[in-house]
Amino acid sequence: MNAAFNFVRVFTLGRINKQYSGDDDLTDRFKAVERILDINLDVLTSSYREEEMGRFLSLSRVEKTLLNILKKTSSYFNYLLAGALVMVAFFAVGLFGYDVYLLLSREISIEQGILTVLGSLLILWAAIELIHEEMKNLRGGSFALEAFIALAIAALIRKILIFSLSPAKPMDVLLYGALVLCLAISYWLIVQRIKPMKR
């Protein structure tokens, strides 16, 4: 609503400037129109606030108490989720370090070690993205389902990188590839739906 009023303000002031550009009282006209627009904006904003407050005040005492409990519980679980994501990121760092150790100690082949390290980096990257999205959520943003899908895709790609070195499991590689394709389509659909909403 504020953005719409800004368009109205710019349009109205532009029309006044165009029609009364040579008048001495042009500044007074600008001030008068801006006051009128501010009064209208205040009335509309107050109406929206009264509507929201009316919905809240119409609730019974039990409903208000239950609503407050649910809000607090939801915030606690969000903080718990944020802590769990940080823990997952630390485990991903540990996994990356362990894979590097296996590569340097020659306990696995160089090809398998490099692919395993790349897979661990993918998981670490996805965990960091989840932490960023959860921080946005704690600040009032929306739930980022696409970040969780990205983490699942990263984990499956890591599996594919490892299984691709094993000729005895071609069906597993195909199955994981199909899962990655389905998740990628879901991710694309979610992102395409979010783009118009941000505009």
Read off the pLDDT of residues 124-180 as tens digits, 9 standing for 90 and up. 887 888 888 778 777 766 666 777 787 788 778 777 777 766 665 677 777 888 888
Q: How many CA atoms lie within 13 A of 169 on its CB side?
A: 13
Confidence bin at 88 (pLDDT 50/70/90): confident
Confidence bin at 53 (pLDDT 50/70/90): low
CB 149 within 8 A of CB 190: yes
CB 180 within 8 A of CB 157: yes
Mean pLDDT in residue range 95-109? 84
Tokens of 100: 């590097």
Find the farthest-apart pair of alpha carbons in the chain and give their distance in angstroms, rounded.
89
Residue that wins the pLDDT comparison between 97 and 25: 97
Mean pLDDT in residue range 71-77? 82
DSSP state of 22: T
Residue 44 CB partners (closer than 8 Å, separation 6+): 1
CB 22 within 8 A of CB 28: no
pTM above 0.85, yes or no: no
Q: 144 φ, ψ to 5°?
A: -100, 90
Q: How far is CA 164 from the centre of its chain?
A: 33
Is residue 194 predicted with pLDDT exceeding 70? no
Residue 104 CB partners (closer than 8 Å, separation 6+): none
